[in-house]
Amino acid sequence: MAELKKDEAQSEVVDATAEQPEAASAPARRGEPILQVRNLVKHFPLTQGILFRRKIGAVKAVDGVSFDLYKGETLGIVGESGCGKSTVAKLLMTLETATSGEVFYKGEDITRLSGRALKAVRRNIQMVFQDPYTSLNPRMTVGDIIGEPFDIHPEVAPKGDRRRRVQELLDVVGLNPEYINRYPHQFSGGQRQRIGIARGLALNPRSSSATSRSPRSTSRCRRRSST
């Protein structure tokens, strides 16, 4: 069973798998939330047959999750492996299509966006994947991996400035900027995770989503909004 945790003066823990139609019980805060999730549901269908496939059930990966994320907050989804933490993160990025529910970024429901509008939102919600081995292309240098977001969003950094920006990001995550031409296999697992974090920070997002897995109930998925 997954739970939500927030880093505040008074810790707040709620059941993430239970239905939470309203967030009225949350303490008063200043300003509007950056991210709002309302009754988010993702069911994966179970089918039977080869030529004529029919639905015989569904796996309820996410079933009625609601929360608000404000500027400066860190929020964690806590639960055992397989409880739906990573699926929630993918739904926030629209890498998976929600069965039902709404995800509002700055008041706009991003589950209804597509094309350029969705691309613009994704610039502000970045993801750090849980596996530092499979999430990095072994044929790309660290510089190419961290700089790839600039190819998708060229307005963020001109081509002539990208090498410097990548080196700055390496320094931010505690890696030597001179490692820019190295390949992922030349780094340890922890260093690869830092490379993934640097890539997630490249576009200076308003919110970042990091997935993690653990057989223990203390595993967590954190989404951190920028200060």
- One domain, residues 184 and 216: no
Listed as own residue / partner, the contacts of 220-224 with beta carbons closer than 8 Å and 24 or more positions apart are 220/5, 220/76, 220/77, 220/78, 220/85, 221/76, 221/77, 221/85, 221/86, 221/88, 221/89, 222/74, 222/75, 222/76, 223/35, 223/69, 223/74, 223/75, 223/89, 223/92, 224/73, 224/74
Alpha helices in the chain (DSSP H): 85-92, 115-124, 142-152, 162-172, 189-201
Q: With respect to residue 53, please indicate whether it lies within any of the assigned structural domains.
A: no
In this prediction the pTM is 0.67
Q: Could you tell me the CATH number of the domain that includes residue 96?
A: 3.40.50
Q: With respect to residue 225, please indicate whether it lies within any of the assigned structural domains.
A: yes
Distance between CA atoms of 204 and 60, rounded to whole angstroms?
Answer: 33
- One domain, residues 86 and 183: no
- One domain, residues 223 and 175: no
| pLDDT of the residue at 6 | 55
Tens-digit pLDDT profile for the chain (227 aa)? 455 555 543 334 444 444 444 544 445 546 788 889 999 999 999 988 888 888 888 999 999 999 998 888 888 888 888 888 889 989 988 889 999 999 998 889 998 888 889 888 888 888 888 788 888 999 999 999 999 999 888 888 888 889 999 999 999 999 999 999 999 999 999 999 999 999 988 888 777 666 654 433 333 333 444 44
Using the Cα atoms of residue 88, residue 92, residue 94 and residue 97 in order, give the sign of their dihedral.
positive
- One domain, residues 3 and 115: yes
* Nearest C-alpha neighbor of 62 from the set 105, 21, 1, 123: 1
Yes or no: say if 125 and 209 are a contact pair by the CB < 8 Å rule.
Answer: yes
Q: With respect to residue 34, please indicate whether it lies within any of the assigned structural domains.
A: yes
Q: What are the structure tokens assigned to 59, written together?
A: 């796996």
- One domain, residues 104 and 152: no
Q: Which residues partner with 40 through β-bridges?
A: 65
- Residue 68's alpha-carbon distances to 22, 24, 34, 80, in angstroms, are 10, 10, 8, 22
Listed as own residue / partner, the contacts of 94-99 with beta carbons closer than 8 Å and 24 or more positions apart are 94/118, 94/122, 95/127, 96/42, 98/40, 98/41, 98/42, 98/62, 99/41, 99/42, 99/43
| pLDDT of the residue at 203 | 87
- One domain, residues 100 and 150: no
- The helix (run of H) or strand (run of E) holding residue 20 is none
Number of C-alpha atoms within 13 angstroms, CB side, residue 66? 14
| pLDDT of the residue at 72 | 84
Yes or no: say if 4 and 73 are a contact pair by the CB < 8 Å rule.
Answer: no
Structural domain of 161: 133-203
* Nearest C-alpha neighbor of 110 from the set 96, 98, 121: 121
